[in-house]
Amino acid sequence: MSTATLKFIRLSPTKARLVAREVQGMNAEMALAALEFMPNKAAGIISKVIASAVANGEYEPEEVTILSCRVDKGPVLRRFRPRARGSASRILKPTSHIFVEVGTVVEEEKKKAAPAKSEKKVSEPAKEEPTEKKPASKAKKGTDLNDLKLLSGVGPAMEKKLNAEGITSINQIAEMSKEEIADLDAKIGIRGKIEDTWQKEAQELIKNNEKES
């Protein structure tokens, strides 16, 4: 892999990038041949930078690919043109920095493969950690049936809402009738959560607590 840089060229970066995009990723020999027949001013300049990058690496043009052809913005020269009534209009003359990187396909594949190996080494211990830790189940010995947060989706805010409606224990949810569930659902807006999920979980927690005791 080799590079070449040409700085402070009297050329607009916007116009030069149109040519740079065309040759990026091409074989160096084909790129040089294509640039030779382009009428743009940037084509001749970029062609010289590509030839310089190939020569710096002591390659043959047919052996290498243009990995990167970048055009950066340089300083802008400011000039003035005299106008009517003693005024002046500003003229901006932009400059560009051209950077070209060439290399063989084999070198590029080795460069990409190196970080991939290091990523695997880092990710291996991270994959083992979750297998060692088993998720703790909510139903443990000595379950506190007054703790509504044992039910899925019940946090501190929801627990306060249930307490405000007189629901303070899991036993109450397990023994609620359909009418009581519908009434509570309308007040809190849980959308069937009690009958579909919480009541079943509450009954299971009570059964498990009775077996353990």
Task: Report the distance separating Cα 161 and Cα 41, nearest Å.
Answer: 74
By three-state DSSP, how is residue 65 classified?
strand
Assign 182 a pLDDT band (cuts: 50, 70, 90). confident
* Structural domain spans, the chain: 2-82+90-110, 148-212
Are the CB atoms for 77 and 95 separated by under 8 Å? Answer: yes
pTM for the whole thing? 0.50
Arch. (CATH architecture) of 2-82+90-110: Alpha-Beta Complex (3.90)
| Residue 82 confidence (pLDDT) above 80 | yes
* Cα separation, 34 vs 80, whole angstroms: 37
CA-based torsion, 194, 195, 201, 205: positive or negative: positive
Instruction: Kindly indicate the confidence band of residue 2, based on its pLDDT and cuts at 50, 70 and 90.
Output: very high
- Give the mean pLDDT of 34-39: 93
> Once rounded to an integer, what is the mean pLDDT over residues 96-100?
96
Q: Specify the pLDDT at position 192.
A: 65
Residues 64 and 28: beta-carbon distance below 8 Å: yes
* Helix/strand/coil for 97: strand
Q: What CATH number was assigned to the domain covering residues 148-212?
A: 1.10.150
- Would you say 74 and 97 are in contact if contact means Cβ atoms under 8 Å apart? yes
What radius of gyration do the chain's Cα atoms show? 36
Would you state the torsion angle of the CA atoms of residues 203, 206, 210, 213, taken in this order, to the nearest 10 degrees?
Answer: 160
Of 198 and 87, which is predicted with more confidence? 87
**pLDDT level of residue 199 (50, 70, 90 thresholds):** confident
- Calculate the average pLDDT of the chain: 80
Residue 3: name the closest of 112, 97, 116, 114 by CA: 97
In this structure, the strands spanning 96-103 and 65-73 are antiparallel
Q: How far apart are CA 208 and CA 213, in angstroms?
A: 9
Q: What's residue 134's pLDDT? A: 46
Statement: residue 75 has pLDDT above 90: yes
Go through the chain and tell me how many residues it has: 213
List CB contacts of 98: < 8 A, sequence separation 6 or more: 5, 6, 7, 9, 16, 20, 45, 46, 49, 69, 70, 71, 72
